[in-house]
Amino acid sequence: MTIQIGQKAPDFSLFDTERKKVSLADFKGKNVLILFYPQAFSSTCTAELCTVRDDIARYNNANAEVLGISVDSVFTLKRYKEEQGYNFPLLSDFNKEVSAAYDSLYENWILEMKGVSKRSAFIVDKEGIIQYVELVETKDGVPDFEAINKKLESLN
């Protein structure tokens, strides 16, 4: 299923690094930036998430919650979050269901890995409607944070 602007965002519940369930519905009334990324500790993923970490005030000021999602285990994500000092939740989609629901799952990735989250960005508004969709098709590409920030500013 292809996610499109204007549709209701698929709801989900995933475990965070503290092994607590986090649901998209928990953030009703806030904008949510969902960032899917392939793997913890990889260089491009780390650079992408560090960019968000270092600019978290912008997202807080936009009444936006940031959620990072990968198919890594909660244990791997906990270590990754601690080492990098991420100041937003990292969620484990170990079963790959949410990545698939958001059309953000590689069938085949590098080193013959199958079922890895595709780097992508979605903005869900305060009412749960998709307002921004970006699927990054290159291995070393990252989402267009300038466009993301403009969209978030326009939602307030």
CA atoms 133, 92, 107, 40: torsion sign: positive
Please report, as a single letter, which amino acid is at residue 88: F
| Distance of alpha carbon 72 from the chain centroid | 13
Looking at the DSSP bridge assignments, the partners of residue 36 are 69, 120
**Joined tokens for residue 103:** 């059309």
- Concatenating the DSSP letter of every residue in 135-148 gives E--STT----HHHH
To the query of whether residue 45 is one of the catalytic residues in this protein, the response is yes
| Distant-in-sequence, close-in-space partners of 154: CB < 8 Å, separation ≥ 6 | none
Marked catalytic residue, from 32, 35, 45, 121: 45
So which residues are the catalytic ones?
45
